[in-house]
Structure 1
Amino acid sequence: MDTIYRLPIQRPWLTLAIDVASRIVVGFYLSLKAPSSASVALAIHHAVMPKAEWLLARGIQLDWPVSGLPDIIHVDTAREFRARALARGAAEYGISLVHRLVATPHYGGHIERLIGTMMGAVHMLPGTTFSSISERGDYDPERHAVMTIEELERWLTLEIVGRYHNEVHSSLQMPPNAAWREALDRCRAPFRHPHDEQQFLYDFLPFEERSIRRDGVHIFGLRYWDDVLSPWAGRLDRQLRVKYDPRDLSCVFVEGPDGAHWPIRYADLRRPRITLGEHRLAQAALRQRGVRLTDEQLIFDTVEAQRELLETSASITKSARRQVARRARSLNAADQGAVAEVVTPGPKEEPETLSVLAVEEWS
């Protein structure tokens, strides 16, 4: 449900990560958009970083003692797991990416079982769409839906940390929490952690390579400038990586020749914050009007007009409420320093409630 009108908008996507040895959940990410390289980055960030502050921010007084850089991450062959940013970030931290072979589902048994466990719990919530139309019968999910995505995120955390981690796992004959502690006792080498949390985020963000022009950095048809670019502007003989947060395009991060990252904001600081999804919607609208060459002002004018239209119609149509909810969640998450989810237009969808999750598979 959306947070303003408490009306159904859609079902979210859940990205789960599990430690194969102990079956403990090391992290997850809940999104209103289908999996992308950015959602993978945020799930990895959640898995690697200590979770005490994250739990405190959600009012959860439970222990989730899992953090540290993994040596290996097993993933399937989906496009988001083959992104340049993921490969480069993993290499930067000595993480091996192992892609599951096509048509070999038995290699993903551990995560598949966890998905089944989580979905079994989710299907007990009001508003579930169940696993199939036949199983759902004449049950009306929209009529019974009660949770916003923030409420569902908190519920999932309690389900994982408060219940799943403390129940005996049939394969291990002990709870995942106990298996994790036992594994720590056997581990001689200390866990690796990133030296800089912000740098870790940067290393997994999606990026484009751009030349530093005399008037700044150009990406997505927008211009960015900061005085820190002056020594490089028009003088470098190579392009630099420009990393971006798809939830908030008001600032990009230029990776300098020495590897340091520099936040670079709009050249015109009066411009409003927009998401990558809003930018793409604006470009699509302009193309439909036959506008091929667009300037920056035209893009922002179109975004603003679309925002006003969405706000006006949000109380009437589900698709409009969905876009408003995605934008609000994106910009709020960017304020908290989170990696972004991509908000992109897609084909028209059948009405869905928030309580059932589509799950991305990796371990």
Structure 2
Amino acid sequence: MHVALKRLGSNEAHATQAPSVRGVEATYPLEIVQIDHAIIDLMVVSALTRQVIGRPWITLAIDVFSRCVVGYYMSFDPPDQTSVALTLEHSCLPKEKWLRSINLDGKVKYPIFGKMARIAWDNAKTFKTASILAQCERYGIEVRPRPVRRPHYGAYIERYIGTMMGAVHLLPGTTFSNSKRRGDYPSEKKAMLSLAELEQWLALEIAGVYHNSPHRGIGEKTPAQVWAEYWINGQGALRFPPMIGDPRDFTLGFLPVADRRIGRAGIQLHSMHYWDPALTPFINDGIEHRIHFSQRDLTKVYLYAAGDYIDVPLLDRSRAPFSLWELRDIRSHMREQGRKAASESELFDALELQRGLLLEAAKTSKHARRKAARLPPTLPKNVLTEVDYTLPAHPIPTSHGVVE
């Protein structure tokens, strides 16, 4: 082992010379879920112009016991805390609504959901934020980071990422895993899938192909088979996995958080002003309140108070969605020009002008197209809908399964 460490380095030496003993074992579904980020080996094009944008990022979660992919989140944004929040949302909640949103309702079954008992991930900054760790603790989810410089402790997620990339390498526009394998293959010229089309392909690949393919690590059974068999009780009835009772509370609690006092002008965050009449009882109460926000859309923040979240919009409610990276980008650009916005209105005017220039540059620049692809849509994709309390509540039909 000592010689291998000297010749091969730590990672390869442990992979080839260390004892072949399983470090992570699970005895039931959702006992251990491994999560990691990866950049996809595929050039993606604009849905409108069909010009190349670049490679998207994906955050994946896999169940160690069944090898099912319990959830994922894909975008052009580099991994951040919001990526982790939306991956956990996708992993833990039923996926029927999401399948409808990507036009796959009725075309594929994806019955994988439920609150995990333990999360295993690496030591990246995106996984170590205080609000993520605190929300896991609130929901009884144990967090167990991998030992530093021991990638084999994440073997299941790493292996699946390799499997997924192997399938991606068959798509037009693949970059393969390295330049040597790519050779002279013209990835950008061959690219033809938009992000929405890739999302559809990935859902079909995971839920349709991978989940229904025999897996050597689980006795040549399929991941879907192992998952389904566990949730059938002794009487042959389907049991539900541990369910999230309040999806809104669950997801918002994982978003980035800042502590702010509430004044007569409302909440000030990222030098933007947020106001709603619901803030009136909190004005000048001398308390630092927890304010959650999405890095993808800063037109609204969420005040945590009395065990619930209050939506607080921008003071100027007419503004279209904008992201944190856009805000930082325009401020940096103005500083370079020796300018500083005197008001929010001036800042938004500069932001709109920058967007126009960016969309114009996107016609000829791949870098600009990538930035344009990160712009929030006019209507945010991940809208957290409110509950309509005027409608009667209906319990889950017993024919659908047993809640334990």
TM range (shorter): 0.7 to 0.9
Structure 1 equivalent of residue 299 of structure 2: 250
Distance between the aligned counterparts of 2:98 and 2:319, measured in 1?
Answer: 31
Kindly report which structure 2 residues correspond to 1:49-128, keeping only aligned pairs within 5 A, or say none: 49-60=93-104, 61-128=107-174
TM-aligned CA deviation for residue 262 of structure 1: 0.6
**In the TM superposition, what whole-angstrom CA distance separates every residue of 1:50-77 from its partner, at most 9, and x where no partner exists?**
0122123323222111111111011111
Verify the 8 A CA contact 2:231 2:241 in the aligned structure 1: no
Q: Which residue of 1 aligns with 2:263?
A: 213
Cα shift at 1:291: 3.4
Out of 53, 76, 80, the position equivalent to 1:32 is: 76
Matched, 1:237 2:281: no
Distance 2:210 2:223 in 1: 8
Consecutive unaligned residues of structure 1, counting only runs of 5 or more, are 338-363
How far the C-alpha of 1:286 sits from its partner, in A, is 1.6
Matched, 1:192 2:238: no
Residue 137 of structure 1 corresponds to which residue in structure 2? Answer: 183
Structure 1 residue aligned with 2:333: 285
- Distance in 1 (CA, whole Å) between partners of 2:357 and 2:341 is 24
Q: For the residues of structure 2 that align with 1:218 and 1:48, how far apart are their CA atoms?
A: 32
8 Å Cα contact 2:331-2:340 kept in structure 1: no
Shift of residue 301, structure 1, vs aligned partner: 1.8
Does 1:310 pair with 2:310? no
Go from structure 1 to structure 2 and tell me whether the alpha carbon gap of 1:206 and 1:221 turns closer, same or farther (over 3 Å shift).
same
Distance 1:151 1:278 in 2: 25
The alignment partner of 2:109 has SS state of coil
- Amino acid aligned to 2:274: Y
Please say if 1:163 is aligned against 2:213: no
Partner residue in 2 for 1:357: none
Rg: which structure is higher?
Answer: 2
Q: Percent identity?
A: 38
Secondary structure of 2:54's partner?
coil
In structure 1, the partner of 2:10 is: none
Matches of residues 269-348 of structure 1 in structure 2 within 5 Å?
A: 269-291=317-339, 294-329=342-377, 332-335=380-383
- TM-score normalised by structure 1 residue count: 0.88
1:44 aligns with 2:88: yes
Structure 2 residue identity aligned to 1:325: A
Measure how far apart 1:252 and its partner are.
Answer: 0.8
Give the Cα–Cα distance (whole angstroms) in 2 for the partners of residues 107 and 23 of structure 1: 15
Specify every segment of 5 or more residues in structure 2 that has no aligned partner in the other structure, as ranges: 1-44, 386-404
Aligned partners of 2:134, 2:64: CA distance in 1, in Å? 23
**Higher RCO, 1 or 2 (CA under 8 Å, sep at least 6)?**
1
1:253 alignment partner AA: Y
SS of 1:332's partner is coil
Tell me, in whole angstroms, the C-alpha distance in 2 between the residues paired with 1:46 and 1:317.
33
Is 1:183 paired with 2:230?
yes
Supply the distance in 1 between the matched residues of 2:378 and 2:294 (Cα, whole angstroms). 10
Q: Describe the superposition over 1:289-341 as per-residue Cα deviations: whole angstroms up to 9, x where unpaired.
A: 2235753223212101101111222212112222222114585324476xxxx
The alpha-carbon deviation at position 247 of structure 1 amounts to 1.7
The residue type equivalent to 1:316 in the other structure is T
Root mean square deviation of aligned Cα: 1.9
Secondary structure of the corresponding residue to residue 144 of structure 2:
strand
Aligned to 1:223: 273
CA distance in 2, matches of 1:131, 1:322: 21
CA–CA distance in structure 2, aligned partners of residues 207 and 145 of structure 1? 38
For 1:287, give the aligned amino acid. R
> Is the Cα–Cα contact under 8 Å of residues 17 and 26 in structure 1 kept in the other structure?
yes
SS of the aligned residue for 2:357 comes to: helix
- Is the 1:275–1:330 Cα contact (8 Å) retained in structure 2? no
1:94/1:335 Cα in 2 relative to 1: closer, same or farther (>3 Å)? Answer: closer
Shift of 1:189: 8.5
After TM superposition, the structure 1 stretch with the greater mean CA deviation from structure 2, 77-86 or 289-298, is: 289-298
In the comparison of the two structures, how many residue pairs are matched? 335
Equivalent residue of 1:59, what SS?
coil
Shift of 1:259: 2.0
- Name the amino acid aligned to 1:196: D
Give the partner amino acid of 2:217: S
Shift in Å, 1:192: 2.0
Q: Deviations over 1:253-310 (max 9, x none)?
A: 1112x12111111112233432212111111112212235753223212101101111
Asked if structure 1 preserves the Cα contact closer than 8 Å seen for 2:213 and 2:222, the reply is: yes
Q: What amino acid is the match of 2:157?
A: I
Confirm or deny that 1:20 pairs with 2:64: yes
Contact 2:172/2:187, CA 8 A, preserved across alignment: yes
> C-alpha distance in 2, partners of 1:231/1:45?
31
- Would you say the 8 A contact 1:77–1:100 is kept in 2? yes
Q: What's the secondary structure of 1:327's corresponding residue? A: coil
Residue 2 of structure 1 pairs with residue 46 of structure 2: yes
Q: Which residue of 2 aligns with 1:174?
A: 221
Partner amino acid, structure 1, of 2:373? A
